[in-house]
Amino acid sequence: MIDDYYNEQEQWERVKQWLRENGPWLVVGVLLGLGALAGWRWWEQRQEARAQSASASYGLLLETLQSGDRAKGLVLADEIRKDHGASAYADQADLVVARALVETGEFGPANERLTRVMKSSKDPQLKLVARSRLARVQLAQGNADAAIATLAGAQPGAFGPLFESIRGDALYAKGDRPGALAAWRKAEADAALFKAAPTVDFVALQLKIGDLLADGVKEPAAAAPAAPAKPGTP
């Protein structure tokens, strides 16, 4: 029993010695941990507050544009870009303002905002939306070649039907009716693949196709099947 007592006493002395040597570092570690936790909570609260502020500003922008005050809407959109440039609300603000500018025939400023979203947005879907709308603006400006080049600048994915529909419009504007029919037919075929996420007015598309067929424009030739490989050909 005495030996056990001395063993426990020695162990306790070793513990106290270890605490004397390492205790300050333990305190520092605890304080650092608490500081990191407080810092994380502060950052989360700050991000949430910024998101709420951006959302409120965007809501005000929509209300302002709906009221018809376009001039104030432009100012609000620029403020959102300045204060919340890293958020999707800045891109959304440019998109809705560009629509308002198009409605009043101000294609140049609309072009600038759509180009900015197309090039700098972090959201791939918003970039495609901006690209398609920019092509339409360029077409409205009478620049069909620029619209076709804009559409060719990215892989459209589910926006394929929309891109092909606009490309058909551009080709039609250039006087290439067979090319327009081919593009619209492709848009029609692609639209069938993306029924869950439609991006094109299918009825309007079929009407345009029907008009060309009624005018005697021939259907695009089907792609010829690939020739079978010869024996021994890699």
Give the Cα separation of 87 and 91 in Å (integer): 8
Look at residue 167 in the predicted model and tell me its pLDDT. 96
Task: Kindly state the average pLDDT of the residues 33-54.
Answer: 60
**SS3 call for 227:** coil
User: What sign does the dihedral 20-21-27-30 (CA atoms) show?
Assistant: negative
101-154 residue pLDDT tens? 999 999 999 999 999 999 999 999 999 999 999 999 999 999 999 999 999 999
Task: Kindly state the average pLDDT of the residues 198-205.
Answer: 80
pLDDT at 62 over 50: yes
Which band of pLDDT confidence, cut at 50, 70 and 90, is reported for residue 233?
A: very low
Look at residue 190 in the predicted model and tell me its pLDDT. 85
Q: How would DSSP label each residue in 2-22?
A: HHHHHHHHHHHHHHHHHHHHH
Task: Kindly state the average pLDDT of the residues 61-71.
Answer: 89
Task: Kindly state the average pLDDT of the residues 180-202.
Answer: 81
9-37 residue pLDDT tens? 566 566 566 556 666 655 555 555 655 55
Average pLDDT, the chain: 81
The rounded percent of the chain whose pLDDT value lies above 90 is 48
Reading phi first (left if > 0) and then psi (alpha if -120 to 50, else beta), residue 228 is in beta
Q: How would DSSP label each residue in 158-206?
A: GGHHHHHHHHHHHHHHTT-HHHHHHHHHHHHHHHHHTTTS--S-HHHHH
From residue 197, alpha-carbon distances to 47, 117, 158 in Å are 31, 22, 7
pLDDT at 2 over 50: no
pTM attached to this predicted model: 0.73
pLDDT at 88 over 50: yes
